[in-house]
């Protein structure tokens, strides 16, 4: 269209005529730009829905779906599936988010159903959401007791069972250096699977790994405590499917698995930190404020409110934003994520990182 405007009739040689045409041309181009901006301002694009699937037959009938996509809040949402009710569509500060409150009946069947997004009655896209059957195999989720001998390991530093995933293109940290304590060393889930018999021979009954979920951070991503995707195993460790295989393999050997989870904070590379759903998704201060690390202020009835707030709401380190656990959307997101991993992989227990730094009321409710 713009090229055609540059092809002018050669007969138009007079200055007045040329200037008039130039003015009309520029006005038309400005109109095109304004029109294009107006269309793009309301264009919708679906990026993700979390949890990406759920399970039929859960004791709690409530499910809250986080929907993320450009200007997704300008669309209307509908769905139709026996036993599934869309109770409420929640719009928040950021128009790139919707939170869908669903209610699942006790009789709902496993299957897939479309979640439709429409604008002025026209469907712009549809997401096929799946409800899976729960794995109710007897003894699948065993729990952990005082009788268990628990072994803590850091997968990056344990054993490299798959050299092909040592460096993954597209991630922020690509260096591999076994001579440095701050760089990645290349260990992975396959390496742990390969040595489960060795651990069992030591008398270990339960394996607890530091967090395995994605930590796409520029520095020191090896430790796993700066999550950037709650529903994805870090590709340098493997895949979600491999993690599930790791749990199943351990169970087949009579062993148990504990998953390390972090309620308190995330990494600055987290996809939702780059586009916050709302201001109070994380604790924000007029200027950067780090936690005092003085957990006595949480338990001391004589501690000042200011000291308590700094302990609970201050960031752990500059690269780890502190989640606002008094926000009900944050609460639902975290709790559902933990339930999802239990149901999906069949893990036997959870280890809660930085427990004193979390909101006490939420943690009591979570438990």
**Could you report the per-residue pLDDT of 223-279, keeping only the tens digit for each?**
999 999 999 999 999 999 999 999 999 999 999 999 999 999 999 999 999 999 999
Instruction: List phi, psi (to 5°) of 96.
Output: -85, 10
In terms of domains, do 199 and 312 share one?
yes
Residue 83 lies in a domain: yes
What pLDDT digit, counting tens, does each position of 288-325 carry? 999 999 999 999 999 999 999 999 999 999 999 999 99
Residue with tokens 């003085």, as numbered in its chain: 294
pLDDT above 70 covers what percent of the chain?
88
User: Greater confidence, 138 or 111?
Assistant: 111
- Number of folded domains that form the chain: 3
User: What secondary structure does DSSP assign to 267-323, as a single string?
Assistant: -TT-TTTTT-SSGGGB---SS--B----THHHH-TTS-HHHHHHHHHSBSBTTBPBB
In terms of domains, do 70 and 20 share one?
no
Which range marks the domain in which residue 78 is found?
A: 45-133
Beta-bridge partner residues of 206: 150, 256
In terms of domains, do 204 and 304 share one?
yes
In terms of domains, do 31 and 53 share one?
no
In terms of domains, do 162 and 289 share one?
yes
In terms of domains, do 87 and 227 share one?
no
Q: Supply the pLDDT for residue 154.
A: 98
In terms of domains, do 220 and 261 share one?
yes
pTM value > 0.75: yes
In terms of domains, do 37 and 49 share one?
no
Residue 302 lies in a domain: yes
What pLDDT digit, counting tens, does each position of 64-96 carry? 999 999 999 999 999 999 999 999 999 999 999
Q: Give the CATH number for residue 357.
A: 3.20.20.80
What pLDDT digit, counting tens, does each position of 21-40 carry? 344 444 444 444 343 333 34
Residue 145 lies in a domain: no
Classify the C-alpha dihedral 265-270-272-276 as positive or negative.
positive
What pLDDT digit, counting tens, does each position of 91-113 carry? 999 999 999 999 999 999 999 99
In terms of domains, do 244 and 121 share one?
no
In terms of domains, do 255 and 229 share one?
yes
Q: Give the CATH number for residue 67.
A: 2.60.40.10
In terms of domains, do 84 and 23 share one?
no
Residue 139 lies in a domain: no
Question: Cis before residue 51, ω within 30 degrees of 0?
Answer: yes
In terms of domains, do 155 and 271 share one?
yes
């Amino acid at each position: 269209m713009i090229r055609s405007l540059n092809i002018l009739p050669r007969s138009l040689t007079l200055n007045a005529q040329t200037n008039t045409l130039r003015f009309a041309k520029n006005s038309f181009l400005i109109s095109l730009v304004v029109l294009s901006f107006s269309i793009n301002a309301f264009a919708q694009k679906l990026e993700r829905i979390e949890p990406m699937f759920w399970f039929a037959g859960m004791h709690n009938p409530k499910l809250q779906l986080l929907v993320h996509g450009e200007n997704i809040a300008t669309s209307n949402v509908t769905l139709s599936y026996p036993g599934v009710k869309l109770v409420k569509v929640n719009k928040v500060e950021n128009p790139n988010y919707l939170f869908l409150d669903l209610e699942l009946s006790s009789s709902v069947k496993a299957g897939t159903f479309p979640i439709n997004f429409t604008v002025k009655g026209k469907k712009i896209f549809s997401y096929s959401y799946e409800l899976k059957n729960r794995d109710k195999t007897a003894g699948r989720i065993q729990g952990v007791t005082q009788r268990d001998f628990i072994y803590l390991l850091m997968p990056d530093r344990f054993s490299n069972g798959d050299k092909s995933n040592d460096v993954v293109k597209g991630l922020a940290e690509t260096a591999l250096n076994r001579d440095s304590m701050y760089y990645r060393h290349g260990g992975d889930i396959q390496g742990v699977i390969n040595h489960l018999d060795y651990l069992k021979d030591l008398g270990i009954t339960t394996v607890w790994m530091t967090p395995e979920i994605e930590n796409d951070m520029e520095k020191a991503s090896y430790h796993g405590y700066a999550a950037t995707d709650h529903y994805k195993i870090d590709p340098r460790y493997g895949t979600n499917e491999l993690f599930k295989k790791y749990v199943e393999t351990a169970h087949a050997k009579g062993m148990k698995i504990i998953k390390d989870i972090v309620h308190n904070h995330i990494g600055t590379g987290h996809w939702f930190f780059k586009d916050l759903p709302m201001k109070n998704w994380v604790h924000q201060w007029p200027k950067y404020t780090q936690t005092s690390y003085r957990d006595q202020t949480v338990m001391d009835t004589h501690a000042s409110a200011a000291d308590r707030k700094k302990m609970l709401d201050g960031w752990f380190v500059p690269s780890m934003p502190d989640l606002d656990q008094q926000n009900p959307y944050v609460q639902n997101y975290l709790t559902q994520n933990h339930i999802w991993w239990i149901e999906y992989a069949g893990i036997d227990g959870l280890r809660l990182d930085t427990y004193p730094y979390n909101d006490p009321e939420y943690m009591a409710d979570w438990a």
